[in-house]
Structure formats: C-alpha cells, structure tokens
Amino acid sequence: MKKKFIPIIFIVLFSIILWGAVTLSGDFTSTIKVKVQVVESPKNFALGKISHKEIYLRVKAKGWELAKLGLGGEREFVVSAHRRIGRSRIDLRKEVENNQWLASSFHLVEMAPTHIEINIDKTISKMVKVKQNVEIEFKPGYGIASDIKITPEEVEISGAASILQNIDSVNTEPEQLQNIDDKVEIDLAFQEIDGVTFTVKNCRLEFDVQKIVDKSFDELPVEIRNVPPSKELILFPGKISVVLKGGISKLGRLTNDSVKAFVDFWEIQRHEEEQIEPIIEIPPFTTLVDIKPKKLEYIIKQY
C-alpha cells in the first residue's frame, strides 16, 4: 500500500506543475500600482512637491511574467526631470522608454493618471529637533527616575526648500518598551520623510528606571517668606513631616535639605483663613504622597 501511495503523490504533483505551466503560458491582463521615481534633477536641486507619488498601470503579459512581477519586489516608474528647474507637467506615456522592465516584458494597455506635475526646487539643509515616539510600560513597582535623554537632540536634514520649510522636528520610529525594570539605553531610527535626507541614521535614547518606594522626611522646618519688617509670623507647629515617592536610589541620596517647605505671608493676608497649608518644593522625579500636618495654625504680631 505504501509503495502505491508514493507514485500517486508524484503523479498529482506533476499534474499540478503541468497545469500551472500551461496556464501561465497564456496572456493575462492585470492592474498594478507603482511608485514614481523622479531622476535627472539639476545639481543642488531636488524634487519638491509632486502631484502623484503613485500611478496605476494596466498591463498585458504572459502569466509567468506577471507572476515574476509579483515576486520580484516593488517596482518603480522612472520619470526624468530633464534637468529642468521649477514646475513641470510631464506626460507619463513618453516616459515608458525609461522603464525597461515595462517596455521589454509587458504591453501597456493604459495608465492613470497620464500626466503628473512636479516641482524641482533648490536643495537646502537645516537643523531640527528630535522627538521620541516611544511607549513605555514599567514592571509593577518600577518607574522613571531621570529625564529622557535623546542624543543628538537636533539633527541636520536636507531636501527641497519647499518641503523643509514646513518641518521643524522629526520623530523616531515607533517603539514599545514593556515590563521595564532597569536603565534603558537604545538606538532608534528616524521616521522616513519623502524627499528628506538625514545626516545620521539613528539617535540614542537613555533614561533611568528604579524601584519606586516611599520615604519620610521628618522634622522638616517650615520657612516663612515675605514678612514685612513691622510684623512677625509664628507657625504652630514650626516643623512638619513629608512623605515622598520615587526611585529607591534617588530617594536614598536625599536629605531634609533636599525638600523645601514654606509659607508666604502675603498668601495668608489674601485668604485670611485661620490655618495655612505649607507649599512643598520637591526634587524632580519624586511625588508628594503626604504632609503631616496638612495645615498650620499661625499668629501675626504687629510691632
């Protein structure tokens, strides 16, 4: 039974191959979409605006030629700028001879559009800001503990003046970072922009990640600001406790001197309440969790 089964497989495969060869030898018509590539611009000039970046070609060819077209990667329809500067209207039907892959193997039935408009503009360079495009998901209990540093912060780009005049920044390629629990140092590519060339290919993204904990700062003196010479402001109590949340290493380096608590005399005068809530200044990448007591009593003495 096994010996009979193997020849049957070969017969089926041979039949499929034979059927495919016969089928692909016939003529077929297909519509394909191709990108437009403009060549032969003058020196120090580049393509600016273009009315159509892609066109549709309806072609007729042998089945195997169309199959090769599908497997051969993305095709481009080459258009010559003929060294002209400024705006031009180009008849695409006259550009078929610049595309040997089309002229030699296919019969062009029709194209859409048949004309495009291009603008060949002077090439310029400029510095623009780099913006990161990263989504960050931290491991539970962890968080960011530093600024997000991008190197370089600015990058030089080149292209047609009409394109670059509207570009003030460039983005990195989208990136997702998940379950992060340690310092991050990664290289990111820039998002491509049609007609724009970058002087460098990548930028570097760095930031610190630490385990997030709480730390209490007790007996923190409350500073009194902007008291007129003829008055005295007395607080009850004069010291407070503050609880901060932040990276374990960062909080470990902080002391009472790192946290500032104060009240402003004129703020008390404006509200005339019986109690005042102190203002707390905390280091970056820390979060204020609690203040004890939240409000202070006070006495104003007049001299």
Question: Looking at residue 18, what is its pLDDT?
Answer: 40
> Does the pLDDT value for residue 14 go beyond 60?
no
Residue that is last in its domain, among 195, 210, 225: 210
Is 6 part of a structural domain of the chain? no
Q: Among 187, 210, 233, identify where a domain stops.
A: 210
- Residue 30: pLDDT band (50, 70, 90) is confident
For the CA atoms of 80, 86, 89, 90, what is the dihedral angle to 10 degrees?
0
Q: What angle do CA 73, 76, 81 make, to 5 degrees?
A: 160
Closest to 54 in 3D by CA, of 30, 66, 37, 70:
37
Rg (C-alpha) for the chain, rounded Å, is 35
Closest CA to 59 of 72, 43, 70: 70
Structure-token pair, residue 89 = 């209207």
Mean pLDDT of 61-72: 67
* Residue 9 confidence (pLDDT): 53
Distance CA 196, CA 164 (A): 8
Q: Which residues pair with 279 in a beta bridge?
A: 262
Q: Which of 171, 182, 109, 177 is nearest to 145 (CA)?
A: 182
CATH of the domain at 276: 2.170.120.30
Q: By C-alpha distance, which of 240, 232, 249 is closest to 288?
A: 240
Mean local confidence (pLDDT), 11-37: 61
Q: By the 8 A CB rule, do 130 and 234 touch? A: no
**Of 126, 115, 124, 125, the residue nearest 50 (C-alpha):** 115
- Residue 16 has a pLDDT of 46
One-letter identity of residue 7: P
- The confidence score (pLDDT) of residue 100 equals 83
**Residue 5, phi then psi, degrees to nearest 5:** -65, -40
Last residue of a domain, one of 121, 144, 167: 121
Q: Could you tell me the CATH number of the domain that includes residue 98?
A: 2.170.120
| Per-residue pLDDT reduced to its tens digit, 149-205 | 999 999 999 999 999 998 999 999 999 999 999 999 999 999 999 889 999 999 999
The whole-angstrom separation of Cα 295 and Cα 293 is 6
At which residue do the structure tokens 């820390």 appear? 286
Number of C-beta neighbours around residue 8 at 10 A: 9
Domain span at residue 52? 25-121
Same domain for 128 and 191, yes or no, is yes
Cβ atoms of 251 and 213 closer than 8 Å = yes
pTM for this entry: 0.69
Contact between residue 32 and residue 69 where contact means Cβ atoms under 8 Å apart: yes
In which band, very low, low, confident or very high, does the pLDDT at 22 lie, cut at 50, 70 and 90? very low
Residue 235 has pLDDT above 70, yes or no: yes
Q: Are residues 130 and 113 in the same domain?
A: no
Tens-place pLDDT, residues 236-290: 999 999 999 999 999 999 999 999 999 999 988 887 778 999 999 999 999 999 9
User: CA neighbours within 13 Å on the CB side: how many for 167?
Assistant: 30
Q: pLDDT tens for residues 94-143?
A: 998 888 877 677 788 889 999 999 999 999 999 999 999 999 999 999 99
